[in-house]
Amino acid sequence: MDLHQLYVFSKVVEHKSFSKAAEDIFLSQSTVSSHVQALEKSLDIKLFDRFGRETILTPHGERLYQWAQKLLLLKEQALLDVKQGLMEYKGAVKIAASSVPGQFLLPAMIRKFRADYPLVTFHIRVSPSRTVAEKVRNGSVDFGILGEKYEDDKLQYTPLLKEKLVLITPMDIHIDGPASIQKILEFPFVMRDSGSGTNSMLEKHLKRKGISKDHLNISAFTDSGQSLIQLVKEGIGISIVSEIAARPYQENKMIHMYNIEDFTEERYFYLACHKARTLSMASKLFIDKAASLI
């Protein structure tokens, strides 16, 4: 049984005639008869009694007709909803974001977007950059915003914002001028867990300087950028973080912030999409506008 068979069957019921039903829906009478016969065979019931030219609905046919009307109406409602969804910017947008964009970029971007498109709802998952890339790759989110580019043939990256990493210290630790990596090694260090874009950038810088990560005096690990800043604020150690994340704390005199000497590695935030994923109109629009929302 399929919906088209039910549609043909309903037309025969309404016209009380196979020939008139065929004329209405622009099919041959033999085709209409074939659809009804196939429906009877699939259900193993008789739907019509035929007396000469007169076609009479059986009790089974009457029950099926009631259900057919409900199913065909539901089909029309579903098609209408899908078509409206293609024309309207509404629905849910699922985003995976790494720590800094999830906490410091996305809230303002979403506020600006919803000012024009208030029917869009956002679901945000904050994870390390590597996990964000995995979520985009496996299709569990519409797109991701992250601080590291992981090469993958299935993913497409668009640079959104260039920024730099800075050294942050508690208020009782003062460093003169740009901080050298040798100076950083003198203090306890709060480290982001592996998988974060910040961690990846730090490891690249240490490698370029010929320094093993084991030389760091690591006092704590955390998978949260905000937790890391709070640990530094409480004097657990110093750390290297995104300038975007550190700036508000520095302006409120909660931490010190320093440039890092000879730190030339470039840092971007990227918008990552799966090349084969079909996106809603709302998701496509957010992606198109993303750079202007920052």
The residues, ordered by sequence, that sit 6+ positions from 147 with a Cβ below 8 Å of its Cβ are 98, 100, 101, 129, 196, 197, 198, 201, 242, 267, 268, 269, 270
Q: Which CATH number is 165-262 given?
A: 3.40.190.10
Contact indicator for 255, 173 with CB cutoff of 8 Å: no
Fold equal for 3-87 and 165-262: no
pLDDT for res 280: 85
The reported pTM is 0.62
pLDDT for res 85: 58
pLDDT for res 9: 92
Mean pLDDT per segment of 10 residues, for the chain of length 294 residues? 90 89 92 93 91 85 92 84 65 92 94 92 93 95 93 94 92 89 91 80 85 89 89 96 92 95 83 92 92 92
Q: How many CA atoms lie less than 13 Å away from 202 in the CB half-sphere?
A: 26
pLDDT for res 28: 94
Under CATH, what is the fold of the domain 91-162+268-293?
D-Maltodextrin-Binding Protein; domain 2 (3.40.190)
* Segments making up each domain of the chain, as ranges: 3-87, 91-162+268-293, 165-262
What does the DSSP assignment read for 210-269?
A: T--GGGSEEEEEES-HHHHHHHHHTTS-BEEEEHHHHHHHHHTTSSEEE-BTT----EEE
Given CATH 3.40.718.10, say whether it is the number of domain 3-87.
no
